[in-house]
Amino acid sequence: MHPTLNIAIKAARRAANIINRASLELDLIRVETKSPNDFVTEVDRAAEAAICEVLREAYPGHGILAEESGETGPESEYQWIIDPLDGTTNFIHGFPQYAVSIALAKGGVVEQAVVYDVVRNELFTASKGRGAFLNDRRIRVSRRTRLNEALLGTGFPFRQMDNVEAYIGMFRELTQKTAGIRRPGSAALDLAYLAAGRYDAFWELGLAPWDIAAGTLLVTEAGGLVSDLAGESDFLTTGNLVAGTPKIFTQVLPVIRSHLPASIPA
């Protein structure tokens, strides 16, 4: 295992300890609203601080991009991209679908990834060119090829509601053409599930880099495809993402594109 991946796992487990302890006393947690339907807790901040402490101790020359503290550290070709608690709204409500997400990018290309489901103790990891794993077991995307047999994941808009009608159109058409659609509320875990063959495709718009940096490497290392809405690889910048098994991806992307409003360039 690559040494940087080992450090990322150590950091994720450190954060998970904080999150798990806090989950036992949810009624005592202070919650702040960053924007409509977008929340942050003292647990997010404590978990992020724990992750950053581990990373800075091991790699003081690396930069860090984290959800709560923004971009910190020295300018470097190496940058850690962190979501200390992806699925904060779920966590606040005691809904057991949230995760720690940590990625390391070199020159803007993600090379190491950890998504840790702290509730189920499922550790998803990937190193570029070395495959994707769940608790040390190699994982692959599913072999499904028919859209009508596919299970899809998505995330509806919650910060900005401008594109709700477009989403409803996508949802309506894909509901009719697939075996079902799920919306559990953690993009990092959705992508990990896709990598593990639990979904056959996933799409969402308006995501942040820390939501998807680790998960997208999991998908590609598990044999899946990931793109922005134009079919290109600029999803970390645009925040718009379509991912899937090779066969299902090519059937889902045109449906998503057909419902895009003029405000979202394809």
- 118/171 same-domain check: no
Domain that holds residue 40: 3-139
pLDDT bin (cut points 50, 70, 90) of residue 36 is: low
- 13/132 same-domain check: yes
- 9/125 same-domain check: yes
Q: How many residues comprise the chain?
A: 266
- 131-149 pLDDT, tens digit each: 999 999 999 999 999 999 9
Asked whether residue 263 is domain-assigned, the answer is: no
Asked whether residue 163 is domain-assigned, the answer is: yes
- 175-195 pLDDT, tens digit each: 999 999 999 999 999 999 999
The candidate with the shortest Cα–Cα distance to 141, out of 126, 156, 163, is: 126
pLDDT of residue 40: 67
Total domain count, the chain = 2
- 46/160 same-domain check: no
Cβ–Cβ under 8 Å, residues 152 and 171: no
Asked whether residue 108 is domain-assigned, the answer is: yes
- Kindly write down the DSSP assignment for every residue of 148-196, as one continuous string: GG-EEEEE---S--TTHHHHHHHHHHHHHHSSEEE--S-HHHHHHHHHT
Residue 27's SS3 state is: helix
- 191/168 same-domain check: yes
- 175/249 same-domain check: yes
- 49-83 pLDDT, tens digit each: 999 999 999 999 999 999 888 878 788 999 999 99
pTM passes above 0.85 = yes
Which neighbouring-strand residues pair with 18?
none
Asked whether residue 266 is domain-assigned, the answer is: no
Question: Which of 139, 158, 186 corresponds to the end of one domain?
Answer: 139
What are the φ/ψ torsions at residue 35 (nearest 5 degrees)?
Answer: -160, 170
- 87/128 same-domain check: yes
pLDDT of residue 33: 75
- 116/158 same-domain check: no
pLDDT bin (cut points 50, 70, 90) of residue 26 is: confident
What kind and span of H or E run contains 34? strand 31-35
Question: Which of 104, 139, 174 corresponds to the end of one domain?
Answer: 139
Question: Which of 81, 106, 139 corresponds to the end of one domain?
Answer: 139
Q: Which of 99-113, 158-172, 207-221 has the lowest mean pLDDT?
A: 158-172
- 9/123 same-domain check: yes
Other CB atoms within 10 A of residue 35 CB:
9
The pLDDT of 103-110, averaged and rounded, is 97
